[in-house]
Chain A
Amino acid sequence: MTNSDWPLWEVFVRSRRGLSHTHAGSLHAPDAELALRNARDLYTRRGEGVSIWVVPSAAITASSPDEKDPFFEPAADKPYRHPTFYEIPEGVKHL
């Protein structure tokens, strides 16, 4: 990295109150303040947001695709965690 390269930031935007922040994309900025401002200009110029988070990309730890199976498959065969697993007689309300 030369001294004029700016680090990469991930941008998360809350599109409206009541919703959580969603990953919108990334950008370059020299520091957090400018990252926020760049994110505002780039990702919300059509009114797409009411709140922004910026996170240095280097600070994100991601699960590895190689660990996909041990990480996620065990959750796939536990249907009893889902409400549709249970049969309820017709006509019973508020369940």
Chain B
Amino acid sequence: MATAAAHRTAGTPAHDASDAAAGTDARQAAFDAAVAADERIEPRDWMPDAYRATLVRQIAQHAHSEIIGMQPEANWITRAPSLRRKAILMAKVQDEAGHGLYLYSAAETLGTSREELLDKLHSGRQKYSSIFNYPTLTWADVGAIGWLVDGAAITNQVPLCRCSYGPYARAMVRVCKEESFHQRQGYELLLALSRGTPEQHAMAQDAVNRWWWPSLMMFGPPDDASQHSAQSMAWKIKRHSNDELRQRFVDICVPQAESLGLTLPDPDLKWNEERGHHDFGAIDWTEFWDVLKGNGPCNEQRLTQRRRAHDEGAWVREAAAAHAAKHSGEHTGAVAGRTGVKQA
């Protein structure tokens, strides 16, 4: 994955001011050629400022989504109804912290520190996925999140494994590998409820009713209203349009819902023979923009908890840093390559 180190090392030759313009043209050409040839851009390569900025924004938003996304599910860890489910849920929420870490390190290779990114999250200057501004009201929501929210995320993320920026693509390979367990556990959880008592079945149906439409919104605004899409596609950061991925997701979910014995809350949902896809009802974009603006049911709560965890942890991070400063040079780990790293 990422080598953030790349930014700190010496060795970039200086250029005359007179060379600068010609140099940039040549570099732009090299960059364009690499993207066109489906090669990966690596951290120390020259890249257009806007490409860098787009990546930082997207990777940061993705990382923020992972760590804010821990909250709605962690909400049920202490109430999981069986020990097996509890272990699964804890492992899943833990993975999300891990995914956040992979992604923050990918973002750091672009020259922005995690601290800066967290700062922007905490101050509301960077976003996370709006889906996590919806509450988890029942246990079945844990299943619906796994099946629908993680399912939508995977549909979005699998193409990112081929994204033009190397560290992001590599982070996504790792994330996608781990996410597939998330989706399957959600589906299995819902299946158990759907086949359980009438109350459990109703709980599952209610959760699917509430999470279906927000999941479809996860693919972002329709292509004609998506401000960053075209440029991101040209840069091969993005490989498919929002509407294309949304359609793919709907087509995948319909038969899965049938196997679950649950219905999707859309009277207009039906197979269109001509298109070879399912037609589906109109999405309420007013709600989408409203939640994005901060008026969702949990926007305030999610950010407040995140800020509190960060602020209340400051003394711990400071203590460890102070301890390291006092004891630098006392490292007791084995020297790699001589005796092998003995720890862990």
Contact = CB atoms under 8 A, between A and B. Distances in A.
**A/B touching: CB–CB < 8 A:** yes
Interface of A: 1-6, 8, 10, 21, 23-28, 30-34, 36-37, 39-40, 42, 44-46, 51-53, 57-67
14 contacts: A5-B113, A8-B5, A21-B336, A24-B1, A26-B108, A30-B317, A30-B321, A33-B343, A51-B340, A52-B341, A52-B343, A60-B5, A61-B9, A66-B11
Interface string B297-311: 000000000000000
A3 B333 contact: no
B51 interface: no
Given A33-B331, A52-B344, A62-B44, A26 B3 contact: yes
Nearest to A64: B11
A33 B324 CA distance: 10
Contacts of B8: 57-58, 60
Nearest to B320: A30
Contacts of B18: none
A6 B321 contact: yes
Contact of B321 (A4, A8, A42): A4
Most chain B CB inside 10 Å of its own CB: which residue of A6, A42, A51, A57: A57
B44 A65 contact: yes
Given A5-B115, A32-B333, A58 B5 contact: yes
Contacts of A60: 3, 5-6, 8-9
B259 interface: no
Interface in B5-31: 5-6, 8-13
A10 B3 contact: yes
Given A10-B5, A26-B4, A63 B11 contact: yes
B42 A25 contact: no
Given A5-B115, A62-B6, A30 B13 contact: no
A26 B322 contact: no
Contacts of A3: 318, 321-322
B320 A31 contact: yes
A67 B46 CA distance: 12
A32 B327 CA distance: 11
Interface of B: 1-6, 8-13, 42, 44-46, 94, 98, 101-102, 105, 108, 113-115, 171, 174, 178, 314, 317-318, 320-324, 327-328, 331-333, 336, 340-341, 343-344
A30 to B, nearest CB: 4
Contacts of B324: 30-31
Contacts of B318: 3-4
Nearest to B323: A30
Contacts of B45: 65
A62 B5 contact: yes
A49 B206 CA distance: 42
B178 to A, nearest CB: 8
Contact of B333 (A1, A36, A57): A36
Contacts of A65: 42, 44-46
Given A32-B331, A42-B98, A58-B5, A8 B340 contact: no
A26 B343 contact: no
B13 A64 contact: yes
Nearest to B318: A4
A78 B310 CA distance: 55
Contacts of A5: 113, 115, 317, 321
Most chain B CB inside 10 Å of its own CB: which residue of A30, A32, A36, A44: A30
A24 B3 CA distance: 9
Contacts of B340: 51
Contacts of A6: 317, 320-321
A62 B11 CA distance: 8
A52 B340 CA distance: 9
* Minimum-distance CB pairs A-B, first 5: A30-B320, A57-B5, A25-B1, A40-B344, A4-B317
Given A25-B174, A36-B341, A52-B343, 14 more contacts: A4-B317, A25-B2, A26-B4, A28-B114, A31-B323, A31-B331, A33-B331, A33-B333, A51-B341, A52-B341, A61-B11, A62-B3, A62-B5, A62-B44
